[in-house]
Structure 1
């Protein structure tokens, strides 16, 4: 920054006009990198172009004054210039450039960097040579059949300068044969009955002419037949050749050629193998190693070694794999442990009478699990069939870390902590241990631990903390074997100045003599929550002190308030509290009021008050203004539903009785029976026996008469009367029947008369 303060009185500075010059040229003010504030010139992110002599001219319109300053900016060197191509031959080029000492930017020049690009990758610049600081030309090796341009960079102690413009002249090299054959030729045996050949593909700059192709020749060892395959795409690097052999030796050569010819040096053949297949041998006598005990996370195994010859292995023997999985969960829990083959060294030993077993110990097994295992032999790409399967059980271990651990609510003196079960229990969880310590920068306070919590506990209240303090909290799952892995969180208590979060009542579920109040806290970042919560309640409309119902468990977000009166409207609210009354950090925050009515009959006045308030119907699910309350839905009350069901049952019984009465009265009119027989006589004796017949529905048949019409007596009156003795005609009823007369008869006649009287 340049200043012009010395040119005039500071009190007159605002009346002056300032003009800045660099090497007698006006400084361009862009207000981004170069800006002017009053008489000061400020330059940000200076570079070599800012070096020079600065002049400040101050003018008041009548007179002017000047001041000078020189700035030297140390920076990476400026780009060289006049870069030209001296010679361009088939395999090399000579490049020249110019560079002045003034371009060093006040830092000694160290070297130059010569770069080039080609028409195959014009955006990519390769480093070709690094001439010394006193050199102004350099030689660079080129590749045939390419178009080259060049540029130069200068380097000093500050750094690498910008590159010069690239040469305007393009250096074109002539065509030539390829410089070399493909490199890193090999065979892979991943596919059975295939000879797979791979190599590094050649870059386009290495093709050197048109008409490029690869020539792959293969010959089975011991066979005179040579097969050749042509690939004319230089980007391809793999050839799969079908064969009828498994892991047989082949001689393979990969060559490069273009329209000019082959490279000067011949390609080197390699010996490869056709594809491998699954081994033909299977490990035998797989069992637990009796010399090793099964622990909670490891077990030892042993088995007989297999024949490792290429013919038996159908490939190159690499070792064994012990496979372990949880019982009946092989597809999802299998774990493979590779035991590599280690060739024996030194002199061969005589064959022992008993083959030495292969032994290994597998670690990191799941604890407290029923497991199954087998072993397979492997070559480079395939595994054999599995051996016999063995079953074993690992004893109980310690659990892994819990699945999650978080501070659900944060207060100024407490946390509400919650966690999940361990990812791997590795036994029967007997409880959880929680420890915590304050953190002050990089200093950790003393560790304190809570009492061990029960296995079914997944949240707890941690109190007695300092406000506005960072804490590190640990949790461990525990089995009978001890503590498992820990889970750590860092949480900071809230400041006392932050207001308490306001509880929100979710539901006030009433019963005849109680209510269950449930609440939540708003989910806000950095909120401060209370350490205790309790419920206050009173009768609706009463002015006075609230009744208090304490929360027995600080972890609960619900409270049951009992000993209420049935059918009464109440007001309720939830209060958050922290600290003790009288303490400096004591604070309270109450929720909005909620109105409810207890169930039962109780006093009918509050029930009617719930339905109509000031001439309008109130809603139990919304809070009214001015002390209005929510009414319960009568249709959902138990007593109302029970009453409706009882009324429905009584109506159903009444309908059934009416139907039965009607049916009985319509079926047994004697005159109707006589009319249906075709008789119009008024003589009751003539139609007497008709009473013994049933109606069309078969109802009303008497047990005193035979239902067969042929056996029915249809004679004269005398004959009919004789069956029942003398009868006084005066005792007949008004309609000609004599049913009432039988009320005074005895014996069998009494029973028959009673039956007929019932039917009538």
Structure 2
């Protein structure tokens, strides 16, 4: 048997093939250094071998050599025992033992079989044995979850293999048989309690301990004492422990609590129930809050009561903050209590006009107040609140102008009424004395006197004045009723002129 090598060989690989169980299949048997030309091989009995060798260097493996001649080994006892022994306790009161069997090439001879030996750990001295050919054996009638020592010994027609190793396993699990004792509950706050208990004996667990399960039932809400509840919840706590913290409870309620052991098979019996109550807590968030009907110094707040009161609701806590218009920072803060569970609106008074407020409202019980519901609102401005001096002067000018216009309208109306009253038909004598009567003469004298004081202003009369009529006109100038309308109908009949009369006329000046 020769192999051709090119370059320096890092190592040689020896392969074998046997023609009894796996003919034609080459398997690696041993590797030797590249500077070694011989190898000592460990072979199984009762087989016919042939060998080949190939070299391996930095580039890769070379071509294998030609196979050697067949070499037969003598049958002998097994030189090893089964491995990967496992113990399963899936079914209570029995134990399943399994292992990986020897390969056909590893049996060293015909008639391979196995002896299974077992005994209770630290209880029994004698081994119970059973000879089997399959790689599985089930032990029945065992105590629940009891530790055992197990070993599996291989043998063939030529004898027993070496002494096997001992492994430890447990029989099948069953649900725990005992309940925790001395269960106690300590209330931490409105939603959490601390639960403690005495651990159960290990023998009563009857399986791999997974932990403890705490179950609690809400039986009553003190806000509706007549109604019976059955709200169940539970939580598992891993490991071998004696206490746990239970959270997520409802305030102002009555509960019943139990504890039990849990293993892989299931849950044990419950402990005696313990009754406890949770105190009142803070109410929940208000669902709605609105600010409406805003006035210069007040606004109306309207809200909805909390969906979860968590106790007896007695009122609300109100906070309101005056904000800076530009930076929205808080300038001033006020707070007050609103007593009454049925109140759902409140008029907030004493506010600054034209200002923005941030409002926080909380529902309260005797325990505490809940989270705040927030809203912002703005009061209406007033005319007296003017910050810019130019706005004040503009507003004053507008007001003065409006007042002056109103006064002018009133004077014009009065003047119009007076002129209308004096503008009707006049009854005169057939030959009217064109001189002013005593009253008119007095008025003209008075006006003449004022004229000297420059308080009166004269102006020429128009053509329609009554003073255009003189005594030189004949009687035909009048109508039958004594009026002088006919005179106006024919302008050619007017012969006189107001210039011939020394009668002053006044120019009326509107005030």
User: Per the shorter chain, which TM-score range?
Assistant: 0.3 to 0.5
Bigger relative contact order (CA 8 A; separation at least 6): 2
Bigger radius of gyration among the two: 2
Query: What's the TM-score, normalizing by structure 1?
Result: 0.29
TM-score with structure 2 setting the length: 0.41
